[in-house]
Structure 1
């Protein structure tokens, strides 16, 4: 077994730029992929299921997601002209985009192609504002970012609960030209809940007693156990698997040419800002972990790659991209700082994208199997936000609780009362129907009202220290 990397024997530049032997690099790259895989495919499953896409279309979304994630990871790790932070970063679809994308896709006047049009524009917007993020850091101190990340996790918890129940509790069906809500009689089936609970228990057990790689892929192993039980009980089927090709290439604009609708674009540009803030925190944490000093130019390159990756996502039928926090944590755990390990992970993601049968198998996983895993994944997102909020000095900032309480309260409106804003103009729906966007706007405005704007240096210092503690 290869000994852990000894950071004391090399300089920071050597550690980050070190080219490891190919077998070790491949193995460590595979480890990164295993850690992020469940989270990587979660967004296509959520969005595809919420929009009522077929199993074949969801499988295509997963393939497209893996391909784009691999390409963007390579750009971030290796660099491409003025793009890429050239550090061990793994990229995946941001959960912050889930709510707005579902709201856009479910709107009959917008639809899936409007998601991709808005995603492309948001990516271009991200590349343009990337150089300004250093100045905007003062608007997004840990009080705001911690609140937003907490809200993301809490908002998505409803998705995990519906997964555990076997889907949506009701669906809309057209009867005599009128839409009616039809209750799902199988929702909450005890057998489905039992399998979801089993997955959760397996994850808890592995996280408690597992070591090394086994502990890191506890979520994936929990899903595997749930799949095995579902297969044994005859509750999981692979209809259409035989027709799926072994090899395929993801083509741009598979679902049609993108549509550029202003409400959707505004919503996704707000998500892009959130994504850039999340990535900034992760990059600052990674700089502290690897010992590489984070300069404005380096930060801009990383954020610009986020924007380019989002454009690539829109072109290849997928979604906005950001750095995955669990992989930043894995760098800390393993002590391996080489960016070529992340590049190896990117190549593995691309190879997986070329195997549609694998994507079809993943798309066949019953939603209740994902339920137990979703509670862990989304709960961990919320827990990360709570840990960032725990770094705040509430004695010195006596209005912080107002910012947190009001922002989360407003952000939960679309989750707890989805029809509250139904009479507002249709162009507001992508914004008002997304708790994450509502909560973010509220947190930024309230923080500015109570605390003003921090200096760039102080904001970077706070963001780096709070994100590092959250890892």
Structure 2
């Protein structure tokens, strides 16, 4: 006879655990609030640059939220060989903003954007297995550097939110920074002193308390809620049949390569935070999901999709690693995309409230990169060079946004993304310093 202990089923990995329903909803909402401002930014920027009427702009936003949710479900739940089955939120990539603005303000308009997005999605699906085989070029030296740059490059985003949002009339007003600082203190206080369950939703608690204070202080404006409709579903090719202009397609293919490079770093970072190894197959499946979501984006009037780095820090901070939590967040986004009035309520959260929470989350991402780099042997001076130069290259476009303004568009698309620039640099330098045969003279001197 077998003992009860021998019949015991293996423990479920934290990534596959399904929390109780109440926690599932709270944790999922926390992820939505953490990424909402970034999620709607791309349609706002592109639509604003094209001077679209308010009705079209509202349509772009609801379509984006709907597809963010669908893309997140594809990535987290997965089917066949599509989806990494990791807790990864999906959103529109900022790497595509400038090319899309150039395409959209030209003769092609939105139809040319969507044609190029559809081709980019197909290319990502086809290239996913190729990128999957590149995983061996991402040892801890490279992944730690990339994750560090992801966190550092996101910190200015949190800073802009804390100050009131880039371009806001009251940008930098002390009351904005005071509200962000208050939210930061609430998040830290809940995480440190609250019971374990509440500490895991410290960001949600901070945003809720910050929202209450903002209401009392007259920060929040809910006027847009009354104007929003109750139901709005994105239909395929709402703005007309896509066109396939060669220059537009070429620009978006460059974006696809940059996005896949960034996503590789994001997948590896999530794998490290969740203690689930990202192998060649997982990476290929995740990138294939990005490609499918991007393809659907072109069909349903929105843009290229990728892993949202904003939410990686939330996983590291709360240690809630379940992919079903993020899948729940995807369902919430689908509801927000189908019910514009709900979306308007969430959109009414003052940006400084998100800034205070963002400082904690994005700083956690950077700290995760440092933790990975702690496993690297820095007695080898070559490793110091790889990290130092890669971080410098990755942070330069963040600190000097117009650094590459006079370069060709394809070069700007690649290098203006600090994440892809750092990733490319770290991979190349690691190969040069640690894998190329050393010269005999150098060996003799060593």
TM-score interval for Structure 1 and Structure 2 normalised by the shorter chain: 0.7 to 0.9
Instruction: State how far apart, in whole Å, the 2-side matches of 1:185 and 1:55 are.
Output: 20
1:350 and 1:65, CA in 2 relative to 1: closer, same or farther beyond 3 A? same
After the TM superposition, which of the residue ranges 129-138 and 402-411 deviates more from structure 2?
Answer: 129-138
The one of 145, 161, 164 equivalent to 1:163 is: 161
Instruction: State how far apart, in whole Å, the 1-side matches of 2:56 and 2:337 are.
Output: 14
TM-score, normalised to structure 2's length? Answer: 0.78
Partner of 2:89, secondary structure, is: strand
Shift of 1:77: 4.8
1:14 and 1:219, CA in 2 relative to 1: closer, same or farther beyond 3 A? closer
The 5-angstrom pairing of residues 354-373 of structure 1 reads: 354-373=338-357
Instruction: State how far apart, in whole Å, the 1-side matches of 2:271 and 2:7 are.
Output: 22
**What's 1:251 paired with?**
235
Asked if 1:434 corresponds to 2:417, the answer is yes
Equivalent pair of 2:90/2:306 in contact (CA under 8 Å): yes
Partner of 1:251, secondary structure, is: coil
**What's 1:84 paired with?**
83
The one of 245, 258, 275 equivalent to 2:263 is: 275
**What's 2:440 paired with?**
none
Equivalent pair of 1:104/1:112 in contact (CA under 8 Å): no
Instruction: State how far apart, in whole Å, the 2-side matches of 1:357 and 1:268 are.
Output: 33
Shift of 1:357: 1.0
Equivalent pair of 1:410/1:435 in contact (CA under 8 Å): yes
The 5-angstrom pairing of residues 337-348 of structure 1 reads: 346-348=330-332
**What's 2:90 paired with?**
93
Between the two proteins, the alignment pairs up a number of residues equal to: 418
1:322 and 1:393, CA in 2 relative to 1: closer, same or farther beyond 3 A? same
Equivalent pair of 2:179/2:353 in contact (CA under 8 Å): yes
TM-score, normalised to structure 1's length? Answer: 0.74
The 5-angstrom pairing of residues 455-470 of structure 1 reads: none
Instruction: State how far apart, in whole Å, the 1-side matches of 2:55 and 2:212 are.
Output: 22
- Note the alpha carbon deviations across 1:377-397, whole angstroms, 9 max, x for none: 2222222222222222223x4
1:384 and 1:427, CA in 2 relative to 1: closer, same or farther beyond 3 A? same
**What's 2:250 paired with?**
262
- Note the alpha carbon deviations across 1:169-192, whole angstroms, 9 max, x for none: 6xxxxxxxxxxxxxx763211111
The 5-angstrom pairing of residues 446-461 of structure 1 reads: 446-452=429-435
Shift of 1:233: 2.2
Equivalent pair of 2:144/2:372 in contact (CA under 8 Å): yes
Equivalent pair of 2:45/2:97 in contact (CA under 8 Å): yes
RMSD: 3.8
**Structure 2 stretches of 5 or more lacking a match?**
437-446
**Structure 1 stretches of 5 or more lacking a match?**
1-5, 170-183, 454-471
Shift of 1:359: 0.9
Equivalent pair of 1:41/1:62 in contact (CA under 8 Å): no
The one of 402, 405, 411 equivalent to 1:422 is: 405
**What's 1:27 paired with?**
22
1:217 and 1:140, CA in 2 relative to 1: closer, same or farther beyond 3 A? same
**What's 2:305 paired with?**
320
- Note the alpha carbon deviations across 1:213-248, whole angstroms, 9 max, x for none: 422222222222222222222232122322212222
Shift of 1:118: 5.4
Instruction: State how far apart, in whole Å, the 2-side matches of 1:243 and 1:33 are.
Output: 27
- Note the alpha carbon deviations across 1:373-432, whole angstroms, 9 max, x for none: 22222222222222222222223x431111111122122222222233222234433234
Shift of 1:266: 0.5
Equivalent pair of 2:162/2:353 in contact (CA under 8 Å): yes
The one of 101, 115, 124 equivalent to 1:126 is: 124
Instruction: State how far apart, in whole Å, the 2-side matches of 1:266 and 1:139 are.
Output: 21
The one of 130, 139, 142 equivalent to 2:140 is: 142
